[in-house]
């Protein structure tokens, strides 16, 4: 996701990124402007600016943190599902900096967001970067992703080709691949901190909810052995609120069917299942004019929607979500706010011209608060490189005290030399 929102600064212009005082003021004016009951902004602004002068940063109140995270979703130019931005559950884990607890709370995030299939939009906000202490980083693009293995015998990839390099690197770092490799082996979480370095953490099976895929009409489809995880929790984007950065802030909504059926399972550099599905459907693949790819794509997406619905796991279709987005757009305009949108992301990856979001232009101005995908984080999410911090220096063991050579009758009680 990304993020924008009308930022009511005195002159109407957003501050330059990196100016924490200006960004803090911009955010606080926005927060108090949308929450009149909090009173005038001046006292809080004075407090924050004094804290910045003293420490180089400041701490958000719980209310400011929750508002900032929700507005970052509201402002996400690449997300079509923003109508329910106010429902985002914010888990405040800013006290957490150690890798083991970060991983444990990511697992708890998944359990809580899954909610028995009634997916709850959730963000877990870990410790922020400060001038004196960098924050934890989560390498994975999403909390749940599947491994990709190169099969030398067939010259093909088992699993998700997108994560082939990531899988190879975490294996080098010590991950034990399953004895029986499959197309849907969940990758470990990779958490990096300045203190612990790079650490690997297996997600508990109970935290990984998956849906087995079948088709409403074609019984053979279940025999393909396909499945997908229920919660799309993005985990390598930085939450930026008022000049404060939270590099580890995994967040999720729920799936739109085409994300799975038209991209993850269909893209040629992913699971590339269109040809296999077309063959099983008995389609004529000898000529592009038979539109066999389009027909196979529709049936693959029908299977995804059917399977999630039958499993009682929240999912939405691209027609419904397109209509909801225009409702969201209308509400934002009525509130006097800008609503940036990236057309190439908002328009669904199938039947685009049949959806209302296709037939209009959008404001593309980037606003704050926002979810930011930094270039190094993007690379780590697929290649597991580069590392975020220098490798921790191993602690040098303390020197043992020298022992004075004593006469024979006192050697049992050596005396350390001061």
CATH code where residue 124 lies: 3.90.340.10
**Annotated catalytic residue, options 26, 64, 169, 259:** 259
Residue 393 included in any domain: no
Whether the CB-CB separation of 261 and 228 falls below 8 Å is answered with: no
- Mean pLDDT score, 148-161: 96
Q: How many CB atoms lie within 10 A of CB 368?
A: 24
Determine which one of 7, 79, 106, 339 is catalytic.
Answer: 79
Q: Is the pLDDT of residue 247 over 80?
A: yes
How many domains are there within the chain? 1
Mean pLDDT to the nearest integer, 208-232: 99
Report whether 89 contacts 121 (CB < 8 A).
yes
pLDDT over 60 at 410, yes or no: no
Please answer whether residues 343 and 361 qualify as being in contact, where contact means their C-beta atoms are separated by less than 8 angstroms. yes
Cis ω on the peptide bond leading into residue 134 (within 30° of 0)? no
Q: Percent of the chain, pLDDT > 70?
A: 89
Residue 84 in any domain: the answer is yes
Answer yes or no: is pLDDT of 7 > 70: no
Q: Is residue 371, in this structure, part of any structural domain at all?
A: yes
Residue 237 lies in a domain: yes
The per-residue pLDDT for range 357-378, each reduced to its tens digit, is: 999 999 999 999 999 999 999 9
pLDDT higher than 70, residue 42: yes
Range of the domain at 31: 20-346+367-383
Asked, for residue 249, whether it belongs to a domain, the answer is: yes
Name which of 233, 231, 213 is nearest 311 in CA terms: 213
CA dihedral for 177, 180, 182, 185, sign (positive or negative): negative
Confidence of residue 397 (pLDDT cuts 50, 70, 90): low
* Per-residue model confidence as pLDDT tens digits over 281-328: 999 999 999 999 999 999 999 999 999 999 999 999 999 999 999 999
pLDDT (average), residues 398-404: 54
Q: How far apart are CA 89 and CA 308, in angstroms?
A: 22
Predicted confidence (pLDDT) at residue 413 exceeds the cutoff of 50: no
The reply to whether 79 belongs to the active site is yes
Do residues 80 and 101 lie in contact, with contact meaning Cβ atoms separated by under 8 Å?
A: no
Q: Is residue 400 part of a domain?
A: no
- At residue 126, the 3 state secondary structure works out as strand
Phi and psi for 248 in degrees, rounded to 5?
-110, 105
Catalytic position from the list 82, 89, 97, 368: 82
Q: Determine the average pLDDT of the residues in 161-176.
A: 98
Q: Is residue 139 among the annotated active site residues?
A: no
Task: Indicate if the pLDDT at residue 400 is higher than 60.
Answer: no
Of 342, 346, 328, the closest CA to residue 259 belongs to 346
Give me the phi and psi of 416, to 5 degrees please: -60, 140
Residue pLDDT, tens place only, 18-36: 799 999 999 999 999 999 9
**Is 153 a known active-site residue?**
no
Distance between CA 387 and CA 377 in Å, rounded?
9
Does the residue 399 lie in any domain? no
Contact 320, 340 (CB under 8 A): no
Structural domain contains residue 13: no
User: Tokens in use for 191?
Assistant: 């958490």
Nearest residue to 313 (alpha-carbon basis) of 211, 213, 232: 211
Give residue-wise pLDDT tens across range 53-109.
999 999 999 999 999 999 999 999 999 999 999 999 999 999 999 999 999 999 999
| Residue-level pLDDT at 12 | 32
* Strand (E) or helix (H) holding 158: strand 156-159
Q: What is the distance between the alpha carbons of residues 193 and 141, in angstroms, rounded to a whole number?
A: 17
- For this structure, is 106 an active site residue? no
Task: Kindly tell me if the per-residue pLDDT of 41 is higher than 50.
Answer: yes
């Amino acid at each position: 996701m990304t993020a924008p929102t009308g930022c009511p600064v005195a002159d109407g212009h957003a501050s330059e990124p990196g100016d924490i005082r200006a960004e803090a003021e911009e955010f606080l004016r926005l927060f108090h402007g949308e929450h009149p009951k909090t009173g005038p902004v001046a006292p809080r602004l004075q407090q924050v600016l004094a804290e910045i002068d003293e420490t180089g940063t400041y701490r958000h109140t719980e209310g400011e943190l929750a508002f900032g995270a929700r507005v970052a979703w509201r402002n996400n130019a690449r997300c079509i599902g923003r109508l329910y931005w106010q429902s985002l559950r914010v888990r405040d884990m800013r006290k957490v900096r150690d890798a083991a607890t970060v991983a444990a709370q990511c697992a708890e995030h998944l359990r809580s967001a899954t909610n028995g299939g009634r997916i709850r939009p959730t963000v877990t906000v870990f410790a922020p970067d400060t001038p004196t202490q960098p924050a934890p980083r989560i390498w994975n693009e999403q909390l749940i992703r599947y491994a990709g293995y190169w099969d030398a015998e067939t010259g093909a990839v088992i699993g998700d080709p997108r994560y082939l390099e990531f899988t190879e690197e975490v294996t080098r770092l010590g991950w034990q691949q399953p004895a029986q490799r499959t197309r849907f082996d969940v990758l470990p979480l990779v958490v990096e901190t300045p203190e612990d370095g790079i650490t690997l953490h297996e997600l508990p099976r109970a935290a990984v909810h998956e849906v087995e895929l079948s088709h409403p009409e074609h019984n053979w489809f279940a025999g393909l052995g396909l499945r997908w995880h229920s919660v799309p929790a993005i985990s390598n984007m930085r939450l930026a609120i008022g000049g404060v950065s939270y590099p580890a802030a995994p967040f999720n909504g729920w799936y739109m069917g085409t994300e799975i059926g038209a991209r993850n399972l269909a893209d040629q550099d992913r699971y590339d299942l269109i040809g296999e599905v077309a063959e099983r459907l008995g389609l004529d693949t000898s000529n592009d004019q038979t539109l066999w790819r389009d027909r196979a794509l529709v049936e693959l997406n029908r299977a995804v929607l059917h399977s999630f619905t039958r499993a009682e796991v929240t999912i939405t279709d691209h027609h419904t979500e397109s209509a909801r987005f225009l409702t969201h757009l209308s509400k934002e305009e009525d509130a006097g706010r800008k609503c940036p949108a990236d057309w190439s992301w908002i328009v669904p990856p199938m039947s685009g011209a049949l959806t209302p979001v296709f037939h209009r232009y959008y404001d593309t101005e980037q606003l704050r608060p926002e979810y930011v995908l930094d270039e190094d984080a993007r690379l780590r999410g697929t290649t597991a490189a580069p590392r975020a911090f220098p490798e921790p220096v191993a602690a040098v063991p303390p020197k043992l005290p020298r022992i004075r050579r004593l006469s024979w009758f006192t050697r049992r009680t050596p005396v350390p030399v001061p």
